[in-house]
Amino acid sequence: MIQKIDDYRFLIPKSYKTGMRIDGLIYADEEMIKHIEKDQTKEQVANVATLPGMIGRSLAMPDAHQGYGFCIGGVAAADIEEGVVSAGGVGFDINCGVRLLSSPFMENEVRPKLEQLLNQLFRDIPCGTGRSGLLEVTKAELDNVLIDGASWAVRNGYGNEEDLKHIEEYGKIPGADPSLVSSRAKERGHDQLGTLGSGNHFLEIQVVSEVYDEETAKNFGMRKNQIVVLIHSGSRGLGHQVCTDYLDIMQEGMKKYGIKVVDRQLACVPIKSKEGKDYLAAMAAAANFAFANRQMITHWTREAFQRIMGNGDLKIVYDVCHNIAKFEEHDIDPEIFGTDGGKKKVLVHRKGATRAFPKGHKALPEELQKFGQPVLIPGSMGTCSYVLVGTEQAMKETFGSSCHGAGRAMSRAQAKRETSAEKLLQQMKSQNILVRAQTKSGLTEEKPDAYKNVSEVVEVVHNAGIAKKVAKMTPIAVMKG
């Protein structure tokens, strides 16, 4: 049975399922937990707790829903000596993430030219399933992208050095090895650099509609009624293929290392094994591709603003990963986790979860040291998005993690059955939101009520103290694949 700890935390004790090594914990309110219990999320949280070397708790954020192996919205940390790495704990879209750009414009300045601006962005930034980018890199150059990430893009004229300070890991995850990325993955990715993709990926022009923390918002370069741009994209076909390749390798590896799992989707190998090291090096390469991808989209967004608005000086507020596994040092609190305490280097899996480091953390650039890391939470199309800031509480409880969005409430097939593109476009128009989409079916899959209420999700993490609200943004123009 799930045990309610308080209004925002529900415990899955080790006694819930045979083989659980640690407890599970779901962040939710009373209504959300009812919804979460309707699919396999709870079971997946418990299943992750059975994996070798997991420490602390197996966690699910309030936007959690059923995924491949791990739930989406799942966080788990593994001891680097005894633990395992699981490709399902990162997911298929490696370093799917979001980037927020602040503009020098207020809403009243952009509204008269909004349609022109959206059309320019739609022309300049390729989007949609399998869509090719504006430049095709050679195979040799692609290897450099996989090693250097956003730095490669900046070096090639797509941005500036200042941009890199405002990207998680400075836009480059160390240890990437392109030789461990298959030729099939490279084939899928070499012409997709600088593309938005499809599904829930988007570019939105938004207005800062509410500010909850004036001082922090000012530090982030945000103010009420300001125009900002939110970009949501990942590693495209390259990352998907890396995950596919290593799931097969891990299935074989489990036989070699004598690992048994309760769900074959949790295929994993020891972190220190050759297969484990190879996956992490290939995953880092795919993550770096995604950083470069968002950097190039940023460049073309700036060019579109320059062309239509006469000023392309858009600054990166921050760029966060949603699907990643990273080595981090955490102070394990024995009172919270019921285990030995002290500083420990762990491999944190975040799948549909956002890093949320507090002020003073060494991973943050100097200008964020006094405030903490921006945590970007996109909502569903036509609703709203949020900027939060990381907290010390998150470091104690969630390995410095928070939610990543609204979380799906219905399948894509159901969403398509329940509405038409025409009806959805009419709804957006009634809200004074412009929309450009590559396909009508892609639009209906992403209708607003296909997702949970992002404001309710944000209230849970805010009230639980694992991230604090800074600002709310409302869309005025949406671009989708």
Q: Annotated catalytic sites, by residue?
A: 404
Residues found in the chain: 481
Backbone angles phi, psi at 52, to 5 degrees: -60, 135
3-state SS string for 282-348: HHHHHHHHHHHHHHHHHHHHHHHHHHHHCCCCCEEEEEEECEEEEEEEEEECHHHHCCCCEEEEEEE
C-alpha–C-alpha distance, residues 146 and 160, integer Å:
19
Question: Pairing between strand 268-270 and 84-86?
Answer: antiparallel
CA distance 33 to 24: 14
Among residues 191, 203, 189, which one has the least CA distance to residue 243? Answer: 189
Count CA within 13 A, CB hemisphere, residue 12: 28
Beta carbons within 10 angstroms of residue 82's beta carbon: 13
Residue 276: CB partners within 8 Å, gap ≥ 6? 84, 85, 253, 269, 270
Helix (H) or strand (E) holding 43: helix 41-48
Residues near 74 by beta carbon (within 8 Å), at least 6 away in sequence: 44, 45, 48, 58, 59, 60, 61, 64, 67, 89, 349, 350, 351, 352, 353
Measure the CA–CA gap between 360 and 186, rounded to whole angstroms. 38
What is the C-alpha separation between 300 and 302, in angstroms, rounded?
Answer: 5
